[in-house]
Amino acid sequence: MTGPASVAVVPARGAANRGFARILLSEWTKLRTVRSTMWALITTAVLMIGAAAAIGMAALGAEENDANPSFNVIELSFQGAVLAQLSLATLGALAITGEYRTGMIRTSLAAVPWRLRLLLAKALVFGGVAFVVSMISAFGAFFVTQAILSARYDAATLVDPHAFRVVFGAGLYLVATGLLGLGVGTLIRHSAAAITATVAILFVLPPMIGILPSSWGRTVTKYFPPNAGSQIAVVVPDPGMLGPWGGFAVYCLWIAAVFLAATYLLRHRDA
């Protein structure tokens, strides 16, 4: 009795693994065959690297930077991340809301009845693509900026204090923001509304929270998602803010909470 029972488990596990691999392949096919995917990824890279080049050239001709103690050649590389994060967050939202708009979500849920597995596969595929593009963009922006600034300043290298953490962290922040867009899109299911909500989280609410009164306003500011997460791409974080990795961990917890809520709604409401 023991032998046959133990043998029967192996094919079941193998079938489950092959089933999840097929879900991943399906999500990859859906992501890469949508025209907006390529444009959003190109936009992310162009905004990061193009803005880095433009700002580097502008800094090269600004003599006041010579006496500016806050002038930092590392952080200067990532001024384009402000807009690049919007590009990836929009793509993350569209990766799920596009299926609701076309009605494809019904086919997806019929093919994958276990909805958590579908969302996990979508997050893994999107996160993997976003990771590659974000790292290319972050390191590209860094090297382009330093090449330009080297004509006048002592350019930074990846072995300088905090440099690798800031460059790698800028890429991680973009990936996390893209996943935030995916989570919000799963919650709201409507493209325009999901993008609007994500824009509010990233750009509208942070300055509004900054005017809240007293100590609790400072606490909310410190732990608010983009404020906490962006500390990983800062050379010397503000003493009133969280540390680089602690802040990014808080950002990831916020994103995890969004996905938990999205998973609950995905399982309990109709497509």
Q: How many CB atoms lie within 10 A of CB 12?
A: 9
Higher pLDDT, 249 or 56: 249
Helix (H) or strand (E) holding 11: helix 2-32
Go through 15-46 and write b for each residue having 16 or more CB atoms within 10 A of its CB, e for each that does not. eeeeebeebbebbbebbeebeebeebbebbbe
133 found inside a domain: yes
264 found inside a domain: yes
Say if residue 263's pLDDT is above 90. yes
Owner of token pair 């992501």: 31
Rounded Cα distance between 245 and 232, Å, is: 6
140 found inside a domain: yes
Question: Residue 135 sits in which domain range?
Answer: 18-268
CB 160 within 8 A of CB 74: yes
Q: Provide the domain count of the chain.
A: 1
Query: Residue 7 has what pLDDT?
Result: 36
Q: What is the DSSP letter of 270?
A: -
Say if residue 216's pLDDT is above 90. no
13 found inside a domain: no
222 found inside a domain: yes
6 found inside a domain: no
Q: Is 10 helix (H, G, I), strand (E, B) or coil?
A: helix
Give alpha helix (H) positions in 115-243: 115-149, 163-188, 191-199, 205-209, 214-223, 225-229
Say if residue 172's pLDDT is above 50. yes
Q: Is 234 helix (H, G, I), strand (E, B) or coil?
A: coil
69 found inside a domain: yes
39 found inside a domain: yes
CB 175 within 8 A of CB 134: yes
| Percent of the residues in the chain that have a pLDDT greater than 90, as a whole number | 51
Q: Which of 28-37, 151-160, 184-193, 261-270 has the lowest mean pLDDT?
A: 151-160
